[in-house]
Amino acid sequence: MNKNWAVSALALSALVSCTTAGPRAGDIVSSSNAVVARQAAPSIAPTKFALVEADRNVAFTWRQYENTRGAFFKDPGPGRVTVQSGDLLSISLVSINEMGFVDFTTNSVSPVSNISLPPQRVTEIGTINVPPIGRVRAQGRTVPSLESFLDDRLSEVLVDPSVVVEIVQRNGALVSVVGQVGSPGSYAYSSGDTRILDLINLAGGTSSDIPGLEVMMSRHGETKRIALSDLYNDDKLNIHVRPRDVIAVVPRNNSVVVLGATGANEEVTFNSETMPLANVLGQIGGIENRRADPKGLFIYRPTPRTLAQMLGVDTRSFPGEEILAVYRFDLTQPEAFFTVSEFEVRHGDLLYVANSRYEEVDAALDIFADAVLRPVQIAAALD
């Protein structure tokens, strides 16, 4: 029997050496050629996170929070089309006098004087030059209000003047449309009634199927996204645009990363805003019955401070407006499958399924059985 165990030990040693593919971790760490980086005192504190036991109430609270804060911009209503710095203006001065005006081009006298000034660009400080009154401020005025203002000023030096102002070229009040449209570019903000879909159609419409696209809109440094199909289905979401808005039509490739004891470790993509957790689990083949801990399904997700408070998290020790939260699902509970059907995963979530402790024990026994018992059987056979 001692002979058998000696053979077993030799076989185990040979097995360990044969299964080594490349250097061991210890060989790398302890290598004489390794120069270990000595870090200074850490400037980032250890990551704290809130642990939230997920149930149907948590799923409901998330939905209510999203509905309350609004997933997209509110409609500001029709806007005002005003002259902006950089715009090119055409100005005509019309004056009427019963005594008449001499028209030197035709050598005649006419009761109407019509003078067209050369087109001019509104300066960086928002002014234009209108002889004979000189420089006046045009930026921020609508075309009718600018015409009325010039009428009043010119009446001081001209007889019954009338001014006609036309925006020849828009350079200041522009809305940009980019992405998967026929003609990406910047378009003049020429009507206060213009909405998002009007701009997309003006840019040649979409270049691919609508269901797989979303609109990312940037306004005043904030960016929000919405499915393009929602804009067609709900007129309230098709909001009025404003100068300097940026509208991007892009594929909706939302994703969640899945790791751990599941049927597949992969990145699951979806083209809707959210996706039920149950659907994600079904798409990856579920959790592994023998390997997974049914009480150890977790979703890692940054959570707004206000929402974290609504979920019962004591946020006083957390800095910032977002709190790192880990949501735990206990699949041993009967109502758990209602929870995973109602809880929505979101773009950027990380789903992790922990290993069962029994699996760790089983794995150790499997290694022992393969590495020890089988060599013993081989040695016995050799006898």
- Single pTM value for the model: 0.61
Q: What structural domains does the chain harbor?
A: 50-70+273-359 (3.10.560), 88-167 (3.30.1950), 174-251 (3.10.560.10)
Q: How far apart are CA 324 and CA 317, in angstroms?
A: 12
Which pLDDT belongs to residue 381?
A: 54
Which pLDDT belongs to residue 43?
A: 62
Per-residue pLDDT of the chain (383 residues; tens, 9 = 90+): 455 545 545 554 554 455 455 676 766 767 777 777 776 666 666 678 999 999 999 999 999 998 777 678 999 999 999 999 999 999 988 776 555 444 545 544 455 566 788 999 999 999 999 988 899 999 999 999 999 999 999 888 877 788 999 999 988 889 999 999 999 999 999 899 999 999 999 999 997 777 789 899 999 999 998 889 889 888 999 999 999 999 999 988 889 999 999 988 999 998 778 899 999 999 999 999 888 999 999 999 999 999 999 999 999 999 889 999 999 999 999 999 999 999 999 999 999 999 987 655 555 555 555 554 555 555 555 55
